[in-house]
Chains A and B, each alone.
Chain A
Amino acid sequence: MTTQLQATSVTTGVDVAAPAEHAFRVFTEGIGSWWNPEHHILQAELAEMVFEPRTGGHIIDRGTDGSECRWARVLAYDPPRRVCFSWDINLRWQLETDPAKTSEVEVTFTPDGPARTRVVLTHRHLDRHGDGWEQMRDAVSSGWSLARFAEVAARR
């Protein structure tokens, strides 16, 4: 079972030079300060992102034309240690309305001294997106986020 879970999830982490409370706040309420503004599925340009700070809330993208996209449901909100939200976007970059076909992101914030926090993100149940692999292949070879990723990686 453990192997299977690992096979259908990815985990990555960073160390942040800030207390857990701060890191948690920037990740959630401050999502618009770090999220790549090109990563949205609105027709219009992204104007702002709203992370509703409660279990049962949503992460909402708002477009410059007033349109709105609720692309994540906040499944757990436990400041400053843990936040969990759904990934309601399918592999064709459209809103997925069937919860059985959505994956899940969990982020934990573990203090490492008074001014450092280990942030670990796990995106699990990726197999639930199982029927859009053609689009994923195209995204991997030419999609929006990888171009920028390559750019950032090249500068290091």
Chain B
Amino acid sequence: MADHTAVLTALADPTRREIFERLARSPSPVGELARELPVSRPAVSQHLKVLKSAGLVTDHPAGTRRVYSVDPAGIALIRDYFERFWQQSLARFRAAASHQIQEET
């Protein structure tokens, strides 16, 4: 589980949020992000470092480059929340659907 303060600090910056959202859509190397954003390559690297230490993104080597992507652990809170939400909701749905079929027969 990521440190929440680090997560919030990391996402408080609009450029970092933009980088995070781009990586959520598709994993990219530093150079590609720098080309698409109005910030320098060293600045992108610095932002990635912050995102990485917050546990929001992860990187892996691909040939001579490093490709950054959203770290699954960073989104764990939202996933946990909705998993429980839907398990509970579907249990209610199952009860309703089965109950109604019993009434009809």
Interface, chain A (partner B; CB < 8 A): 3-4, 6-10, 12-18, 22-23, 26-27, 30, 33-36, 39, 91, 115, 119, 121, 123, 126-131, 133-134, 136-137, 139-140, 143, 145-146, 148-149, 152
Contact B93 A14 (CB under 8 A): yes
B34-78 interface bits toward A, Cβ cutoff 8 Å, 1 = contact, 0 = none: 000000000000000000000000000000000001101001011
Q: Select one of A3, A10, A27, A149 contacting B97, CB under 8 A.
A: A27
Residue among B96, B98, B100 with the highest chain A CB neighbour number at 10 A: B96
Contact A36 B88 (CB under 8 A): yes
Contact A23 B86 (CB under 8 A): no
Q: How far is the CB of B24 from chain A (nearest CB, A)?
A: 4
Q: Which residues of B contact A128 (CB under 8 A)?
A: 21, 24
Contact B88 A145 (CB under 8 A): yes
Which 6 residue pairs spanning A and B have beta carbons closest together?
A: A7-B72, A34-B96, A127-B24, A26-B97, A18-B101, A34-B93
Q: How far is the CB of A86 from chain B (nearest CB, A)?
A: 14
Other A-B pairs, 4, CB within 8 Å; known A33-B100, A119-B94, A126-B82: A12-B87, A18-B101, A127-B21, A137-B77
Contact B98 A18 (CB under 8 A): yes
Closest B residue, CB atoms, query A127 = B24
Q: Select one of B77, B84, B90, B97 contacting A121, CB under 8 A.
A: B90
Asked whether A149 and B75 contact (CB < 8 A) given A22-B97, A130-B17, the answer is no
